[in-house]
Structure 1
Amino acid sequence: MTSLVTPGAGAAAPAPGVSRTDLPGGVRVVTETVPGVRSVSLGIWIAIGSRDETSEQAGAAHYLEHLLFKGTARRTAAGIAEEMDAVGGELNAFTAKEHTCYYAHVLDTDLPLAVDVLADVVTDAQLAHTDVELERGVVLEEIAMRDDDPEDLLGELFDATLFGDHPLGRPVIGSEESIRGMSRETLYEFWRGEYTTPRMIVAAAGNLAHNHVVDLVGTALARAAERAGADARPVPPRTAGTRFTPGAGPRLALHTEDTEQAHLLLGVPALDRHDPRRTALAVLNTALGGGLSSRLFQQVREQRGLAYSVYSSIATYADAGSLSVYAGCAPERLGEVVGVARDVLAGVAADGLTPAELARAQGSMRGGLVLGLEDTSSRMNRLGRSELDHGRQRSITESLERISAVTGEDVAAVAAELFAAPLTAAVVGPYDDEDDLPAALRDLA
């Protein structure tokens, strides 16, 4: 059943050492052999995230991330931890808006243990009532910790303002109200209903043999595959469908907090991950605020000394995206920071990038891509995300070529389109109400 990943039409050949197999029950196994290492990173990726929850389930995917490690039919929570500690391995998970990943990083000789533990946790957890109550308190503490971190709180406030009632506007972690009201039955139904093998991708990178991984995964997930049925097919990647369009609601949100700094996110809706212009968007983001030579860093920090931390970032989803600028500054300087940031965005929208900015951004992206794949965990993440998001693997060579192919005209066109849209802003800081904010922000209300 083993087959090399098949690239899309006209695409370059996949990277050497990358293989893919579909197992009964719809499980996909994607691996990459990395010469010269003695470790393996393994992840079970599930095509379910916070955007797939109902209002009653808000925060369920993240809540499960805690609960599944609390014990299975064969292992206690302490036993899971002890087995991994005994081999010096790492075991963890993360939840995002469109997917969840349970992963391990171990010595190559301990790969069978990692596969067995991860599959056991993901498919055969107990979800005991006592553990649900215990972890409810832990998740509530995590929400409180989030509320004490202005940058984390700011990000969720920005998403809620930009996306409104769209599921992407909800926090991954849920709310205090939703977590307090979450029943064990709701969690169990979400887990059993959504954590099915057609939604699962097992990605592994390191010193491994693909067929060996396939055999291990086939055995470990056999019972889960039987529940899905031998004829079950893998769930295809999310498509763009109906693209998100912003509503007519307020575009300014303020969270009053007695902080030493004002924290700002200023941004616009951007491209979804299926948009062929997404590489041009990435180049634009890098030139705007992706490094020490970026336009925002130079204008806000180096030339004016208005903020210590200033950067831009992008988020891409199946049907939506965002580009945002973050800055943390003294409260009395917020107006000037907003003015400079808006001028930078307007300047790029009007005139695009200079040839030097374009070349630096492309070079930074090429270097970051290659250097970021020097460990097995990064490669495993690339495998899992690519399979989930696009249903195929793009070789490093192909990715580098796409970056190099972006022209100044490509970036200018994307910038002009995005920054023609009204700006959305979120602020966390010591302001009693929106009237206390600078005029450069109040006009967004």
Structure 2
Amino acid sequence: MPLPDLILDPVNTPGVMAAKLWIRRGSGADPDGERGAHQLLGSSLTRGCGPLDHLALADLVEGCGAGLRCDTHEDGMLISLKCRDTDAAELLPVLGWMLSAPQLRPEQVNLERELSLQALQRQREDPFHLAYDGWRQLAYGTGPYGHDPLGVSDELQVLDAQSLRPLAEQLTCHGSVLALSGTIPTELLSGLEDMPAFQSLQTGQGLNQAAPELDERCANETFTPQPQGAISLHPLATEQVVMMLGRPTRPHGHPDDLALRLLQAHLGVGMSSLLFRRLREDHGVAYDVGVHHPARAAAAPFVLHASSSVERARLSLRLLHQSWQELAERLLNEEDLELARAKFRGQLAHATQTTGQRAERRAQLRALGLDDAHDQRSLEQLKELDAEVLRTTAARCLQTPLLSLCGPKESLHTLAEDWRKLI
């Protein structure tokens, strides 16, 4: 049987190895009426697989002083293992078993479902999550990115082990990437194909070949265009107002993506960023500001966010909108542009400090259909992006922002009226 698409990243570490197995099947592939199914499946994978039940698996991992977890994202599931190199041969087969032979015992699935429902309940008390959830539904509707990976409570409540089995059978049908970083034992690689867990793992083509082309992903947008001035309101008895202003943009690796990442750095990275200086230092109207722009396989969100007191919310909204509009109307000066480049370089460096970070980034790039040299090539292209390129990219990608608000009901109605006047 073919192995996962294998990436090796030897690093001189004191006997530590990180393994990241990326499965191209995330919450964006949740079936209709079963939102939260892949997250529930992912969390259940760590509760028994192959010949190991949940107790035996916990004893094996914890007995080696290792760490094992599975996180579900919109575009995929990420199984993470960190261990000593001397234990790698004993622990690595667990990754294969989790995919090819998950046990999915009813009592363990039910336990994970209850934990997910509790997490969703906590999210309903968080104004930031409520505001972002409203923006996400406004931007993506019922599309793949229209719900939190945890799912929706009413649909999650009816899921059980039987519901997950068809999804588990599909995990090996869409390709996977296994990235190893750190001290990698030579004998481990030579014996990988002989491990029963990986012999039974059918992955088909490697993701570098199976992933759709970026142009095709961009053409097939995952969001529904909204009318100008679209807004989502979420009343909540709280002392603050949370604002999310933005729109879906481009996939990671699209020709416009690098310019958008420089704009993200300019707007929201660090205390020298435009939003921090304008909303906090110059006007003192916001508790927290930032920009959310994750790497996605399709139209990624580009969202400015801020939290403010009720009394200063109206000014905060005007300043957020002003900052958004200026991107397409004004040229960045050379000092701000060079600072954005430096921040982008710093972000890449900080995101690849540990073996786990290095392995995860390599797996993510390959899973998105990008080559291993993507980040280095992005660094080399920075100087080609001048202020005019950033302005035209903003004019092309950052039009018609969508707004989501969470806070006291009376304040939301006033802000909605202000928003209609701004638009």
TM-score above 0.5, yes or no: yes
Give the deviation of 1:276 after TM superposition: 1.0
Residue of structure 1 in register with 2:211 after alignment: 237
Count of residues in correspondence between the two structures: 416
Specify the SS of the correspondent of 2:307: strand
- What does residue 184 of structure 1 align with? 161
> 2:20–2:356: 8 Å Cα contact kept in structure 1?
no
- 1:5 aligns with none
Contact 1:314 1:321 in 2 (8 A): yes
Q: Which amino acid aligns with 1:41?
A: A
Cα distance, 1:57 vs structure 2: 2.7
Deviations 1:95-121 (A, max 9, x none): 111111111111222212331222223
Q: Does the C-alpha gap of structure 1 residues 222 and 116 become closer, same or farther in structure 2, counting only changes over 3 Å? A: closer
Superposed CA offset, 1:178-197 (max 9, x none): 1112242221111112x106
Is 1:318 paired with 2:297?
Answer: yes
Q: Say if 2:268 and 2:290, in contact at 8 Å, map to a contact too.
A: yes
Question: What is the DSSP-based 3-state SS (H/G/I as helix, E as strand, rest coil) of the residue aligned with 1:106?
Answer: strand
Name structure 1 gaps, 5 residues minimum.
1-23
Amino acid at match of 2:147: R
> Residue 87 in 1 paired to residue 64 in 2?
yes
Q: State the match for 1:130 in structure 2.
A: 107
| 8 Å Cα contact 2:268/2:274 also seen in 1 | yes
| 1:430 alignment counterpart | 408
In the aligned structure 1, how far is the partner of 2:236 from the partner of 2:163? 34
1:173 maps onto 2:150 in alignment: yes
**Among residues 351, 354, 365, which one is paired with 2:344 in the alignment?**
365
Name whichever of 65-74 and 43-52 sits farther off: 65-74
Tell me how far apart the structure 2 counterparts of residues 359 and 36 of structure 1 sit (CA, whole Å): 34
Counterpart residue number, 1:219 = 195
2:23 match: 46
Give the alignment partner of residue 150 of structure 1, picking from 127, 140, 149.
127
User: Match of 1:382?
Assistant: 361
Q: What is the identity, as a one-letter code, of the residue corresponding to 2:211?
A: P
CA positional deviation for 1:220 = 4.7
Of 369, 389, 395, 1:416 maps to: 395
Question: Counterpart of 2:162 in 1: which secondary structure?
Answer: helix
SS in 2 for 1:201: strand
1:110 corresponding residue in structure 2: 87
- Alignment RMSD (CA, Å): 2.3
1:406 aligns with 2:378: no
**Change beyond 3 A, Cα 1:54–1:304:** same
The secondary structure found in structure 2 opposite 1:169 is coil
| SS of match in other structure, 2:378 | helix
Where in structure 1 do 4 or more consecutive aligned residues deviate above 4 Å? 442-445
Q: Out of 367-376 and 351-360, give the one that drifted further.
A: 367-376
Partners of 1:210 and 1:202 in 2: CA distance: 16
1:169 maps to amino acid: G
- CA change 1:62–1:218 in 2 (3 A) is farther
2:223 & 2:45 partners in 1: Cα distance? 36
Partner in structure 2 of residue 11 of structure 1: none
Instruction: Please name the residue that 2:98 is paired with.
Output: 121
1:160 partner letter: Q
Q: 1:220 to 1:276 in 2, by over 3 A?
A: farther
Cα distance 1:39–1:339, how it changes in 2: closer, same or farther (>3 A)? same
The alpha-carbon deviation at position 70 of structure 1 amounts to: 1.7
Cα deviation, 1:315-358, whole Å, max 9, x if unaligned, reads 34333122111101112211110101111122221112111110
Q: What's the CA shift string for 1:109-155, capped at 9, x where partnerless? A: 22123312222233222111222222221211111122122223322
SS at 2:246 equivalent: strand
| Aligned-partner Cα distance in 2 for 1:263–1:224 | 49
Residue identity in the other structure for 1:409: E
1:67 maps to 2:44: yes
Q: Deviations over 1:241-276 (max 9, x none)?
A: 523453346721111111222111111221222421
Match of 1:287 in 2: 266
% identity of equivalent residues: 21
| 5+ residue gaps, structure 2 | none
The normalised TM-score by structure 2 is: 0.91
SS of structure 1 residue aligned to 2:35: coil
SS at match of 2:292: strand
* 1:196-248 C-alpha deviation (Å, 9 max, x unpaired): 065211111111156733633652543433x56xxx32351233152345334
